[in-house]
Structures are given as structure tokens and as C-alpha cells.
Structure 1
């Protein structure tokens, strides 16, 4: 059985990748195909799904700053959207019921509210995968979307407690004892080095927190999320996240397969699920207008709203719980699983065109912006140095130091991560905050003084998007970028990047050149 679903998952994932769709859509399709062929999810698929979700929430926590959650655009945006969605969703559902659509016209008021509530959540799995694949987790809109998802997770935990009557243990307050223990735990992490102990430690912390919270009768996944936030400020947080990335992606295959294994739909169920997905534009519009009213810029509101315009796997948990309690018929579990699957596909397809669509229609969205944007959304005019490095990761910082040593103070860096920019500034590095994929950023600075732009980014798609944005502003300078593989290099050169460096080759060349400097003085001395 394991070989069959692994093979199906691989084939379907490969096919969707070949048509420029995320492999996760293929995994969803594989689940439904296997279900239609008579296969059912075994304990391994369920276990993989649970592990994947726990690891995903833990890694989200590692990237979160608790201060971000108390921002009005996060907590008020999330709560107000949930309330408005419930009201408007109920009206839509009752309107559909008025025209006697099967399954819906039989719903009571409480049952209708449960369904709309289940559909109010956005998918953590879908949104995180979407942002990770495009390298947008640390952008302004990426952090905003993740913050709202965390707030929704908190609402979900509260619902589960109330709906199941599962009251947390009176000993739950003992978990606070871990707060003063953090310095000692941090020392343990420091001693782990950089090898195989790093991912193992990540597993230990994530599942240790899961089991502790379950012991205290609180949702274990919520404990994994809090554990990640607890260690988010540690110097090895990023290293732990990267070490768990492949494990997380592998285990999440089980989650996508498990949705398809839920049940076989009838044509009527498929039609109802399709009707529910027609509510996605309402979800998008609510998010967009709430966020712009909270003084966010149009692009940030647009991208965040589009990423969040899907239904959540939590809807299936609500449906299963409601069905078990007799509040909802079992057929609705199938309908909601179909709606969730459809929403994943729609979001992934539409988001592929999000940046280009906004760039071509930005005036339509910008007219809804507040005249006084939030302070952190005001661009700081970069210095007049002629060389700009986009992406201040390890490669970007290496390029900055090398160029600064050769030509002096003629280089500046740009990064979308506010915390990283502050850290770079503290170290005396000339770095600025900004999203290079944002056309507004390039239009707000004087490009006539920039002679060379280095795109030190890991994602080829990000490099292509930024190159397109720069070219739209009639930039006259040169563009250089990095690529890991030859096919990526060819794609970037054909798109118009002036010089593409093969990452692995250039590391070898640089290593050789620097090493040769060790023996050159000796050779000169011998020659004389």
C-alpha cells in the first residue's frame, strides 16, 4: 500500500509541476484517484499528516515575532473578518437555501452557522506552502498573512475547547515554568553544533511541546506553534527551520493525500462544493477592504487577501466534530473536503499571476489606500551608492563585504525582513528595508544613480519577478543574479539578466582564488 500511494503521489505531483502548478495539487488529486480506485488511508498516511502539520506549525513559530501579533492589522483584521464573514456568509447560505438547493435548504440556523464558521478559516498548510515556494514568508504581506493565520489558530483552539467540553487541566499553569528555563535550554541548543543533532532537536522540541499540551488537555499543535515562538529569537532558529524543511514537506504529502481519502463524492455534493467556492471572492474582498482600512498599502492588502482566500483543513475538523455530535450530516464532511480541495487549487493558480496582475492594475487598488499609510510602510530613500544588492542572506552579505573591500562605501543592500535589516544596521552594514518585488518601491527611488543590481536570491521566480519590476521602471543599469543549476541560468539569461553566476561553480572559483593567495608570496620569493 505504501508503494502505491507514494508512486501515485509522485506521478501526480510531477504532472502538476510540468503544467506550472504546485505539486501539492497533484497530491490532492492522487488522494481522490486512489479513493476512487477503492483504496483507503492507512495509519501511516494519517500519522504522516499529523507529523507534517505539527512540524509546519513549529517552523511557523520559529519565524514569528510575538510583537507582530498585537498589531491592529493582525488581531483586529482577523477578528473583524471572522465576524463579517459569519454575517455575510449566513445571508448567502440562506439565499441559496431559498431557491431550494439540495443539502442546503435542509440546514437549520445553527448548522448553517457551523458551516460558515468552518469556512471562515484560511488554510495554514496552503498559505505557508504558497509563500515558502515563492520565498515570500518574510515579506510584509507574507508576515501579515501568517499573523492572521496564527490568530485564526487561536480562535480554532478556543472553539475546540468549547465544542468538545474539553477543559484544560488545572495544572496547565505549570507550563509557565518553562519561561525562566529558556537560558538553560538555549545553552543545550548551542551545544548541539550544526550536524544531525539540529533536526533531531527540532523534532524533540516540537513533539515534546505537543505531548506536554496534550497532557494538559490543550491542542497539541498549538503547543508546537508556541514552542516555535518561544525559540524564535535564538540564533539557531533559522538553522533549525532549514534542517526541518525537507522533513516537513515530505510529511505534509500525507496531509494532502488524506483529504482525498475522506470520502467519494456524488455529483450533487460536487455541485454544492462548487457553489461554496463561489464565496471565495467575498472572502478576498473582505480581507482586502479591512486591510486597506487599517492603513495598509494596496499591494500588501491585495497579496495578503489573495493568499488567504481559501478554505482551511480546520473546516474538516469542525465538520467531523459536528458530524460526531449529530449537528451535521456525514455528507457535509465530503462536501467541505471538496470545497477545501477546490479552494487550494484556485488559490495556487491565481497567485501565480498575482504580482503581474497587481503591477498592471495597481491604480485600481491604490485608490482605496489611506492617504496616511502605516509608518513601517513608508519607504526610506536608499543612499546614492551605485551598487545595490537585493537579498541580504549569506550570499548577499558575502557580496557586500567583497565589494565594500574593493571599492569602498559604494554598496547598499535591500531586504524584506525588518528584523534582519535592523541586525545588519547594528553591524554597520548599509542595508534598507523594502520588497524588491513591489513596483512602488522601484518607482519611489532614484534609479538613475544605480549602475549595477545584484539579485542574491535563492528563488529563480523571485529573480524573474524583480527583473520584470525593474525593467518596467526603465532602469538603465546592469543586472546580475545567481543560479544553482544550468537550466536556471539559461532561463534567467533568456529573460534578460545580464550576468548569471552558477552558485556552486563560483564558490569553487572563489575558494581557489583565495587559497592561491596563500602560496603566491612563496612562489615570488623562490623565483627571486
Structure 2
């Protein structure tokens, strides 16, 4: 490896790590690394550009693997996403032309079609940013996460359709044969199952993404659309989630080249930074649009706010759109640098907003409630606790076992299981369990109750430690006088929970070995008490 390549990797790593240390997505550091390397005269070869293209293809394939049509068909998702995009493109096109009065050359000489393209690129929000933030907060299955990600997928589909249309050539007559992929999806899934769980499944996923893209290109259809479609065909099957997870690291490392390539192409000027900063003025407009539409479609103010904060940024897909437009000759190449700076700056703004989202809602609760409608969507209905005395939050393996044990000991009507994943709640309800769709970190959760909660015990069994801490703090602030217990994965987490008012904290891993040994002793008929 040449010294320059080693230095480039080192700079990319250090800036990516620096961004992460500041609680920003690493892509902010990677974009900055590209600009620095470009300024130092580093020349990117074919490898970076080829890998960048493969990264975009793999990104679209993994998005397809997560695509659940039923989530996209919810009115609050497709209607909000499409309405927001139309409104933002119109408003930002007007706004970009108004900014021309600043006298900056790049803004003063824009025609209507160029303004529309820039506005279209800025109308997208970042899938990578939102997914990462929601996963870090342990809320990827919550209602506000499902709404936000659903809207992002709608945007991604629009982006792929634009990319397919930008090809500018009619597809081959043989492209009609692609419809045969629909009945073939069962065979594709069987092959995935035969691959097992290791390297063959990784290779199979890559083969589908890259070979599928090539076949679509060969037939005159945009290859990126082919990658997304093949992912969608596998999405209903159980193997899709596993394939998405094992391809994640490969996709991320390939996208590193995409973000680096943006900075390597052009060295930003002071005018580029000035225009990028001006474009940030549209972020508050995007946020108001998201919040207004989501509350209009019957989401609670809290849900709408948290979804809005996850979407309060510009998108890496906007950069992909701009790249496609530049290749087609519709946009000046200088704009990719400006948009890349805007995307990075938008992440710097959005990161702290998301970190303090729930605190912002608690502070602005009353004025935000004015926008909330009386009607509720499924998942926000009034709660009817009945005679329940025990609440169990988080119905994973630990929570489900705790529910069964408590129900056997105290009676089914005394226990309620609560989870923020609609599919988990639906599954347990089908088994006859008392379940509620809810989020323990939601300050409005208790306001959804009908009558009085005579709760004596609350058990926090969520997978994410931060979420358990937030819930414990909120529950005690609500004045709950009963027994509060929580699970932990490490010894230091137990003390953190106790400091927040948790009466009993249980290390699920620390006690696993002891429980395993006791199980074997019981199996062998050894009933002796352990030595002190």
C-alpha cells in the first residue's frame, strides 16, 4: 500500500472518530476528510469511484430488505411524506430564488429548472442519520420511529424513480421479462435459507444486489431501481432481516468511498460555505412542515415532534440525486460540494436536537399540545388497565418470561405487558395476553389511561440501558410510590439504576451462570444448598 493511501485512510478514520465523539454521524467526518484530502492534492482513482457506486447499490438493496408495504400504506406515512415533499420543493424553489438577492454568483444566476433540482435534493431527509439515531436511543421499533422511517422509505422510492427516469433512454422490450421476478421470489428465499448464516449468505446478498443491478441496466432500466426491487422481493421473508444485518458493515465501508469521493472532486471555496450556510435556513421550514402534517394526520404532538427531529436534516440521498443530475448535465458540478457541506452542517444541528428531544417536549409540552387533534391513530388509544397491579415494560425474552411467571403467580388479570413494537404486542395479544402498545419514556403515557392505575410493581425489562434509565427517572418524577425494578447487563449499570430510584436491579447476565448450574443440579437430583 502506498504511503498516500495509508495517510488517506488515517485521516478519514480520525475525522470520522472525531465526529462520532461529538455525537455526530461519522459521515460528517468522512465528508470533511474528502475535502481535506482534495485540498492536499490527493487524487482518487477508479477504485474509489467504483466502490462508491457499489455502496449506493448495496444501500438501496438493504433498504428494500426492510421495506414493509403495510407500514408504507398507513395514511400518516405516505400522505405526510408525499405532501411534505411537494410543499418543500415548491417553497424551497421560491426561497432559493429569493436568496439570489444576496449577490452570490452561484445563487444569482440560477434558472427555474436548476432551482427545482436543488430544492428536490434538499427535500430529502437522511435515512442513515435517522436509523442511527433511533437505534442508539433504543427506539427503532417505537411509533415515532416507524413513522419517520416509513416516510424516509417513501422518499427513497421517489429518489430511485428519479434516478431511473434520469437514464433518459427507453427500456429494452425484453424488460417486460423482469415481471417474472415476482413469482420467483419464493425460489430466491429458498436459496437464502440454503446459504445458512455465514459467508455464503453475505455473498448471496451481494450477488443479488450487484448482478440484479447489472441485469436491470442491461435491459435499459436503472440498476439502482433493480437493487431496491430485489430487496423488496425478499423483504416479507425471515431471512431478509438477517441478510440486512450482515451486509450492513460492507455497505457502510463502501459508502465511505462515496462520501470521500464528494470531497475529492472539488475543493470548497468561501462562497461554497456561505451558500451552504444560507441553505440551512430551510431546515426550520422542513421541521414545521413535518410537524404540521403529522399532527394533521392524527399523531400525538409528542410522536410528531420526535419524528420531526429525526427528519430535521438534509440527506445523503440528496447528494446521490445531485450526482445523477451532474452526470446528466442538468446541474453544475460545483453544487455537489455546496450540498455536501449543507448535509454535514444539518447533521451538526440535528444531532443535539435528537439527543434532547424528549426534554424539548417536556419543556414545550403545553404549546405543542395545541396542535394535537382529539382523534387518535392505532397505538395512541385510551388505555383500560382493569385490575392490573403489575406493569412489565419491554416484552423481549426477559420481559415475556417475567410476564408468564407473574401471571402464573398472581393471575392473568393482575399483569399487563407493554412494548413499543406493534408486531410484538399483536403477537402476544393473539396468545391471550394482556398487552398495551406504549413507551415508558413517553410523558403522555399516563395521560392515556382510563380510570385509576392501582399499580404496585413496575418492571423495566427493555434491551437498551439508556431507555431503562430514562423510564426509571420519569416514573419516579411522576410520583410512583410502588416497587420499581429493572434489568441490567453490567454491574456498573446497577448502581446507575439505583441512583435513579430503582428498588431492585437485576443483572441478567451475571445471574445466568448460577441459574444454569442450578438447573443442571436439579436435573441430576442434587438438592443440596450451595456452600457459603
TM-score, structure 2 as length reference: 0.88
Q: Write the distance in 1 (CA, Å) between the matches of 2:255 and 2:492.
A: 28
**Contact 1:280/1:310 (8 A) holds in 2:** yes
| Pairing 1:150–2:142 present | no
Superposed CA RMSD in Å reads 2.9
- Residue 414 of structure 1, aligned match among 418, 431, 443: 418
Q: Write the distance in 1 (CA, Å) between the matches of 2:65 and 2:251.
A: 14
How much has 1:69 moved relative to structure 2? 1.8
| Pairing 1:502–2:507 present | yes
How much has 1:332 moved relative to structure 2? 1.6
Q: What is aligned with 1:456?
A: 461
Change (3 A) 1:16 1:447: farther
> What SS class does the counterpart of residue 506 from structure 2 fall into?
strand
**Contact 1:442/1:469 (8 A) holds in 2:** no
Q: Write the distance in 2 (CA, Å) between the matches of 1:367 and 1:245.
A: 41
- Residue 518 of structure 2, aligned match among 513, 519, 522: 513
Q: Deviations over 1:377-420 (max 9, x none)?
A: 32443454333222222333233344445555343322222122
How much has 1:87 moved relative to structure 2? 2.0
| Pairing 1:27–2:30 present | yes
> What SS class does the counterpart of residue 439 from structure 1 fall into?
coil
Q: Write the distance in 2 (CA, Å) between the matches of 1:450 and 1:493.
A: 20
**Contact 1:262/1:337 (8 A) holds in 2:** no
Q: Write the distance in 2 (CA, Å) between the matches of 1:305 and 1:331.
A: 30
Q: Deviations over 1:437-481 (max 9, x none)?
A: 321113323785333333323323322332333233222233333
Count matched residues: 523
Q: What is aligned with 1:298?
A: 301
| Pairing 1:471–2:457 present | no
Q: Write the distance in 1 (CA, Å) between the matches of 2:463 and 2:98.
A: 48
**Contact 2:104/2:271 (8 A) holds in 1:** no
| Pairing 1:438–2:437 present | no
Q: Which runs of 5+ in 2 are unaligned?
A: none
| Pairing 1:234–2:237 present | yes
| Pairing 1:124–2:152 present | no
Give the alignment of 1:363-374 within 5 angstroms: 363-374=366-377
| Pairing 1:307–2:310 present | yes
How much has 1:496 moved relative to structure 2? 4.1
| Pairing 1:388–2:391 present | yes
Q: What is aligned with 2:136?
A: 133
> What SS class does the counterpart of residue 458 from structure 2 fall into?
strand
Q: What is aligned with 1:275?
A: 278
TM-score, structure 1 as length reference: 0.88
How much has 1:265 moved relative to structure 2? 0.7
Q: Write the distance in 1 (CA, Å) between the matches of 2:260 and 2:508.
A: 35
How much has 1:351 moved relative to structure 2? 1.0
Change (3 A) 1:244 1:320: closer
Q: Write the distance in 2 (CA, Å) between the matches of 1:93 and 1:394.
A: 52
- Residue 357 of structure 1, aligned match among 332, 354, 360: 360
My pick for the range that moved more, 152-161 or 226-235, is: 226-235
| Pairing 1:266–2:278 present | no
My pick for the range that moved more, 509-518 or 209-218, is: 209-218
